[in-house]
C-alpha cells in the first residue's frame, strides 16, 4: 500500500507539473515612449502600452495610449481604452515588432501601416500615422504624418522616412 501511495503521489505531481507547464505565461504590460518631430513642425509625444507581447504586434496587443498630436497650430490628445477611449488603432502588415527594449516599425515593410486615429477608421479627423512602402496616405512612399482637423481647416504635416523607427521602453510612467 505504501508503494501505491508513493507512486500515486508521484503520478499526481507529474500531472500537475505538466498541466502548469502547458499554461501560457501572463505577460506583463510594457509601456513605450513616443517623442516624434515631423518635418520640423509637427510633434507627437506620449506613450503606447502593449500587453507585453514580444515579436510582431497586432491591434489586440495595443492596450492603451496617450498621445499629444501637434501640427504646429492645433493640438489634440489621442486616448486609448484605459486613458479615455477617444481613438482607435489600425495595424497592417507584419512590420511592427516589440521587444523589451523598444517597438520597431520597419518603413520598408510590405503593407506596413500603424495609425492611431480619432474618432474612427471610417472617419479619421485627428491622428498619427506611419505608412510603409505600399503607398502613403499622401504620396507613394513611406511617410510619417500627424493630421488634425479644426472647424475651418484640415492640416497634415508629413515627412518621408526610411529604415526602422524605434520607440524605447518607458520605465517611469506613473499609472
- What per-residue confidence (pLDDT) applies to 30? 94
Which residues share a beta bridge with 106? 164
pLDDT at 6 over 70: no
SS3 140: coil
Query: 69: buried, middle or exposed (CB in 10 Å: 19+, 13-18, 0-12)?
Result: buried
Q: Cα 27 from chain centroid? A: 16
Tell me the C-alpha distance between 50 and 59, whole Å.
10
Top-confidence residue, 147 or 80: 80
DSSP string, 9-75: HHHHHHHHHHHHHHSPPPPPPEEEEEEEEETTTEEEEEEEEE-S--EE--GGGEEEEEEEEE-SS-E
- Tell me the per-residue pLDDT of 26-54, one tens digit each, with 9 for 90 and over: 579 999 999 988 888 888 999 999 999 99
- Tell me the per-residue pLDDT of 48-68, one tens digit each, with 9 for 90 and over: 999 999 999 999 999 999 999
* pLDDT tier for residue 173 given thresholds of 50, 70 and 90: very low
pTM above 0.75, yes or no: no
- What per-residue confidence (pLDDT) applies to 64? 97
Cβ atoms < 10 Å from Cβ of 118: 20
Amino acid at each position: 500500500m505504501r508503494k501505491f501511495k508513493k507512486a500515486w503521489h508521484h503520478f499526481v505531481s507529474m500531472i500537475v507539473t505538466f498541466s502548469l507547464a502547458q499554461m501560457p505565461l501572463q505577460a506583463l504590460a510594457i509601456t513605450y515612449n513616443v517623442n516624434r518631430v515631423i518635418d520640423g513642425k509637427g510633434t507627437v509625444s506620449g506613450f503606447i502600452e502593449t500587453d507585453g507581447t514580444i515579436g510582431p504586434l497586432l491591434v489586440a496587443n495595443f492596450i492603451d495610449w496617450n498621445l499629444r498630436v501637434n501640427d504646429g497650430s492645433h493640438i489634440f490628445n489621442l486616448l486609448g481604452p484605459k486613458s479615455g477611449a477617444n481613438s482607435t488603432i489600425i495595424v497592417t502588415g507584419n512590420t511592427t515588432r516589440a521587444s523589451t527594449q523598444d517597438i520597431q516599425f520597419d518603413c520598408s515593410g510590405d503593407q506596413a501601416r500603424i495609425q492611431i486615429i480619432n474618432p474612427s477608421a471610417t472617419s479619421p479627423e485627428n491622428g498619427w500615422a506611419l505608412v510603409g512602402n505600399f503607398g502613403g496616405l499622401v504620396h507613394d512612399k513611406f511617410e510619417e504624418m500627424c493630421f488634425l482637423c479644426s472647424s475651418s481647416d484640415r492640416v497634415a504635416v508629413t515627412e518621408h522616412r526610411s529604415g526602422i523607427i524605434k520607440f524605447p521602453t518607458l520605465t517611469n510612467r506613473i499609472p
